[in-house]
Amino acid sequence: MTIRIVFVGKTNAGKTTLFNSATGLSAPIGDYSFTTKEPMIGKAYVTTPCVHKEFMVKDNPVNSLCIDGWRYIPVELMDLPGLIKGASLGKGLGTRFLSAAAVADAFIHVVDASGSIDEEGKIAEPGSGDPMLDYTEIEGEIIQWFKGIIENNLGRVARKVEEAGSEREGIKVLSDVMAGIKVTKEHITVALEDLNVSVKDLVKGPNEDLLWSFAAKVRELSKPTLIVANKMDLPTADVGLRKLRDKITDKPIIPVSGRYELLLKRASENGAVKFNPVEDNYIVVDNEKLSTEEKRALDFMNKFAMREMMRHGLQFALNFVVFKLLRMNVVYPVADPKRLSDKKGRVLPDAILIKDGSTIIDLAEAVHSELVKGILYGLDIRTGIRLPPSYKLKDGDVIHIVSASRRG
Ligand SMILES: Nc1nc2c(ncn2[C@@H]2O[C@H](COP(=O)(O)OP(=O)(O)OP(=O)(O)O)[C@@H](O)[C@H]2O)c(=O)[nH]1
Ligand SMILES: [Mg+2]
């Protein structure tokens, strides 16, 4: 299953600029409000050092790419139409597009750190806007959307709880109702526990404050979120970033410049520069091909990388979401343990993202569900040790699954 990451944020924050930069697509970007009218989907990559060097083989990647010793593993990105305060009441384009975000495994909330958008979402003098207010207002709209879904189904949940009389049934009904937005029973249980309330407390009401707190908890748990502080190329963004970092302590904040990222991405397509995953930066390949603005972008990004100790930029943000927030490991399943290949002889063909704590059985499920039935063990190619089906996989494991029902 491909990981899906959705860009959310205020109109004009720069979501599409970042989306284009990460996916290589050319969706419309504009300095007027609500440029994006429909959700867009594209492919981006997360990067990790490839294991082929360690095994001293030349690989033939199939589900991913291998460039200069780095594996590029695909993830799905979605760009959404922008939000604005009052969206849940129908302002701007409203929140109807948020239903497209329901499938997200994680959000990237794009904030204009330079303060170049006004209350209404129009482009304004840099520094005149309030990035922190933008952030809280848009978060408020997202929570409101979650709350709406819960409220719309509260009657049904109440009836079921009444009929069955049990808390467990209540949690089940609530999770059925929210399954469409990837909210699980566990999310609901933890949210209720954190608030120290029961489903009965939720449905006997209406208690606006409680519903809001519950919606906020469920939102946090089901859509892990990274904040991207955008437009760092503008001088006013430093103050904006500092304010965001002072006030928001529960979420990672990664500074970026979508504008320069996009410029350099285009320059890399022309062969002028090349992305360097080791330092999360671009390096010059052909100085002759670089325009003055591209040189400025490079210069800015290099200084920026030093200042932020390399914790900056879109690639770092995507990697952070997948490897840290979603706690994914990379595992390489191989059908042929001697050649480290698939049945067609392609060496280290697939790099699979799998949640930390997953077992050999989970891997078998991801590779081919038939493997699971007769599963015997997993062979750890690095050590030659046979691992039990319940073995918890580690990042970078290369595994051959041995099953009585099918050869992995
Ligand atoms: N200076 C600067 N401008 C940027 C940056 N990123 C985006 N912009 C500008 O901000 C404006 C809005 O960019 P978009 O990418 O269309 O923003 P959006 O969030 O997709 O907007 P909607 O589709 O309306 O929600 C455009 O004029 C961009 O050129 C950045 O990093 N720096
Ligand atoms: Mg857009």
What are the boundaries of each domain within the chain? 329-403
* Over residues 47-58, mean pLDDT: 97
pLDDT attached to residue 319: 97
Rg of the chain's alpha carbons, rounded to an integer? 23
Atom number of ligand 1 nearest to Cα 258 = 31
Give the number of the ligand closest to the Cα of residue 31.
1
Residue 122 CB coordination number (10 Å): 15
Question: How far is it, in rounded angstroms, from Cα 135 to Cα 362?
Answer: 37
Å from CA of 385 to ligand 2 middle: 50
Atom number of ligand 1 nearest to Cα 11 = 25
Say if ligand 1 is within 6 A of residue 116 CB.
Answer: no
Question: How far is it, in rounded angstroms, from Cα 385 to Cα 297?
Answer: 49
Say if ligand 1 is within 6 A of residue 17 CB.
Answer: yes
Å from CA of 236 to ligand 1 middle: 16
pLDDT band at 249 (very low <50, low <70, confident <90, very high): very high
Residue 39 in this model has a pLDDT that exceeds 70: yes
Q: Which two tokens stand for residue 197?
A: 């309330």
pLDDT tens, residue by residue, 123-139: 999 999 999 999 999 99
145 close to 88: Cβ distance less than 8 angstroms: yes
Residue 281 in this model has a pLDDT that exceeds 90: no
Q: Which two tokens stand for residue 289?
A: 């091909």
Residue 407 in this model has a pLDDT that exceeds 70: no
Question: How far is it, in rounded angstroms, from Cα 362 to Cα 378?
Answer: 11
Q: Which two tokens stand for residue 89?
A: 């009441």
Distances (CA, A) of 281 to 304, 333, 377: 10, 30, 41
Q: Which two tokens stand for residue 280?
A: 């999360």
Among candidates 47, 105, 98, which has minimal Cα distance to 275? Answer: 47
pLDDT attached to residue 406: 60
The pTM for the full model equals 0.96
Give the number of the ligand closest to the Cα of residue 134.
1
The kind and range of the H/E element at 9 are strand 4-9
pLDDT band at 306 (very low <50, low <70, confident <90, very high): confident
The class that CATH gives domain 329-403 is: alpha beta
pLDDT band at 307 (very low <50, low <70, confident <90, very high): confident
Say if ligand 1 is within 6 A of residue 233 CB.
Answer: yes
Residue 168 in this model has a pLDDT that exceeds 80: yes
Residue 359 in this model has a pLDDT that exceeds 90: yes
Say if ligand 1 is within 6 A of residue 29 CB.
Answer: yes
Å from CA of 272 to ligand 2 middle: 27
Q: Which of 34, 35, 256, 260 to mutate to test the pocket of ligand 1 (most atoms within 8 A of CB)?
A: 35
pLDDT attached to residue 285: 95
Q: Which of 17, 228, 236 to mutate to test the pocket of ligand 1 (most atoms within 8 A of CB)?
A: 17
Å from CA of 289 to ligand 2 middle: 29
Q: Which of 7, 23, 29 to mutate to test the pocket of ligand 1 (most atoms within 8 A of CB)?
A: 29
Say if ligand 1 is within 6 A of residue 258 CB.
Answer: yes
Question: How far is it, in rounded angstroms, from Cα 352 to Cα 369?
Answer: 15
